[in-house]
A and B are shown apart, each in its own frame.
Chain A
Amino acid sequence: MSFTPNFTAAQTIGLPSILNLTDTSVGSDVLITQRRVLIQKSDNTYLVPTGTTTNYIAWAIANASIGIDVLNQDYALNITVQWLGVTDNILYAKTYLLDFTLYIMQFLLGLTTNQIAPPIVNYSAVNDNNYWINKLTLYVQKLDADNAVSVGGNIYASQSALDRGEYMINNQNLFF
């Protein structure tokens, strides 16, 4: 039977460091004996879990999904899944350019939750024009990162927006 490789990638609220991959390939190929994941950043280096010595992560064929703990911040990534034969020959491969923005979105969600939480702990900040401009700026970084990959196919622009967002989160006392 023919084999059409495919996969999905997602994050789960509350677990922003975990990259969840699911194999959605259709069909089968008896020659496939192993599967690998390569997570490439915009600087061409690879994300791997601590202790991994290769630039890829093994993904056992028996498991339809895998959770990989590699996202220490928001990233734009080229994610490649390879389906290999017994001699490490690549039979099939599928690559997606995706951005993962859960850190920014969780931070924005936290700001919104604070805005409506009684008592309003940061009342003066919320009424400050800069608060809203900065929150909008952070939100736009997320949108820019999404659009850079989905419309522009540009991993560098996407990562640049995510880095700006990361800076705002890490220096939140200056902005919010």
Chain B
Amino acid sequence: MPTPAEVISIYKLASVYASQDISNGQIFGKRINTKLPLVLQMEGGILEWLYVQDPADSRLVKIANYVFALCEMYGLTAFATITGGGGTVIPGMPIIPSIPYLIQITGASFANATDYNDSRIVGKNLVIFWSGISNPLSNPSQFVNTSTGFRITIDGVDIKNGAPESIFEIFILN
């Protein structure tokens, strides 16, 4: 339910919408409550007056709820207009399945001949593809996880200097 302060804005706009609807009704068929804008201006005016006199008055919330109810459907339209949209919908927390996450690097990103350091992959279950090799690297014969990333364990390679243009696709499974 809107606050009394919000209802003070709502009733004014609802009165406008109701008047427009009544005006249209004169052409397309009569609407039901042609006195509504007048009543809204009066009851809303009384609410506004009370709010100005004493924002802590114990009658304020009841009267604000009453005025909001008087606004009928125009009140909801006015509320949406004033707040920039409808009510707030809080979505449920989704259960996200484990999705492989890809990091693509080149040999130039290696810290040295064999080690690639990246905090995002520390402690993760990795699948690593090295361009030109159709199968992923085997763990531990071709790579191992380290405390800072992973290390290529193939003898004699110098990726940093020998194959800086090589592309590594690192899939983080979980």
Q: How far is the CA of A139 from the CA of B45 in the complex (A)?
A: 9
Task: Judge if A62 is at the interface, Cβ distance under 8 Å.
Answer: no
How many A residues, CB 8 Å from partner?
Answer: 13
Does B80 sit within 8 A of A, measured CB to CB? no
Task: For the complex formed, measure the closest distance between the CB of B38 and the CB atoms of chain A, giving whole angstroms.
Answer: 6
The verdict on A109 contacting B46 (CB below 8 Å), with A13-B54, A132-B35, A136-B38 known, is yes
A135 touches B42 (CB 8 A): yes
Q: Count residues on chain B whose CB falls below 8 Å from chain A CBs.
A: 16
Docked Cα-Cα span, A10 to B160, in Å, equals 83
Main secondary structure of the interface of B (DSSP, over half): helix
**B59 touches A (CB below 8 Å):** yes
Q: Which of A156-174 contact B (CB under 8 A)?
A: none
Chain B nearest Cβ from A44, distance in angstroms: 30
Minimum CB distance partner of A101 in chain B:
B49
Q: Are B38 and A105 in contact (CB under 8 A)?
A: no
Which residues on B sit within 8 Å (CB–CB) of A135?
Answer: 42
Q: Of A105, A109, A113, A136, which is in contact with the most chain B CB atoms at under 10 Å from its CB? A: A109
Smallest beta-carbon distance B64→chain A, Å: 11
Known: A13-B53, A13-B54, A105-B49. A116 touches B42 (CB 8 A): no
